[in-house]
Structure 1
């Protein structure tokens, strides 16, 4: 039997399907000199697919997060940070080959990943973590998180905040722990103390609520 790596490689190289493109996918780069190319972005994505999956759907449990459908402005910033060494992750720079990519490469890759409509090609059922008080999480989210991440956790370009809806709880937990430990900077503010006053249950509740937002989206429209 071939190794998991070789199976993933063959799987990603075989993928050449056409995906739905979000109409606003180029909005964040329209005022720059970058010219995203979705076909080029799809070719570059073959390396990302080795860890994040054929559709960038991530892995249940959040070892590798969902990337599909994240805003292109956020993907572009994150990929640039990894390429330039502001953020470090060997898989991103070695397997993904980010060190050798130009700004236009990153713009094309970001635009392609942002264009992937998982509801159409690979629907996800993101579980709510056991023990979460979703109602308390909703109250905290609407009080402290909505301004930056949006009413439906869709992200906010002006604040460079990512979409949270549809993300795996395990990945969100790990990032919050990094924020608390000072290993990642939250809200582009090195002195940010957003999570200082939250106990473990509060964080569980917030994440629990976020995992339900996609489930409720049809009811909110």
Structure 2
């Protein structure tokens, strides 16, 4: 794995986008293209092909999108939608009319305010299984400092919210981070989880996938449809 220095150093498009005032109508327009994979509700897919984005901290969305745009996070699926020429095209603006960082600010703010899926993909073991308890201990011993007691993350430190995320997506990302396949991973996390076995990984992600999301952050039902695209 390439050593990622200054993992979250201030500067560049990330900081620029964080400081810009977002525009919701533009965010709606830009996100419609994203919805081809992440769905209009921002819920992704339970099979883990695409993550839930709805309700994620804006800081995390900005960092991950700008990392992809800078090709510091390998995501060929998103390149056709996220790079300058593409993001400008979907916005309806032309070069010189708007800064791409503004579009990043617009779309990430919009996504961060979408209600989350009340029925995310979960791991195989519920509270009655010993694997659930073992996952809970692994989480408490290794993950709470960054991701919080309930998987809520820390917005001002760019630590993602992981409760409510799909089990299969988290499992894949955890494995890639552990095995050095995700170039923009936080080096502290790489060190923290390097000794996890595959079973450890499955148990801790199972536990996280079953943590309750606060009701205020959830859509009213799994049949909810985003009213911005009626």
TM-score by length of 1: 0.75
Q: Note the C-alpha offset of 1:186.
A: 6.9
1:129 has 2:124 as partner:
yes
SS in 2 for 1:91: coil
Cα 1:50/1:186, change in 2 over 3 Å: closer
- In structure 1, the gaps of 5 or more residues are 1-28
Partner of 1:105: 103
Partner of 2:207: 209
Distance 2:19 2:105 in 1: 10
SS in 2 for 1:54: coil
How many residue pairs match? The answer is 186
Distance 1:147 1:81 in 2: 23
Partner of 1:7: none
Q: Note the C-alpha offset of 1:59.
A: 0.7
Higher relative contact order (CA 8 A, sep 6+): 2
SS in 2 for 1:128: coil
Query: Which of 54, 57, 68 is 1:68 aligned to?
Result: 54
Partner of 1:161: 159
Partner of 2:30: 44
TM-score by length of 2: 0.73
1:34-89 alpha-carbon deviations (Å, 9 max, x no partner): 11112211110011100111111001111011111110000000000111111122
Aligned structure 1 segments of 4 or more residues deviating by more than 6 angstroms: none
Partner of 2:115: 117
Distance 2:53 2:154 in 1: 16
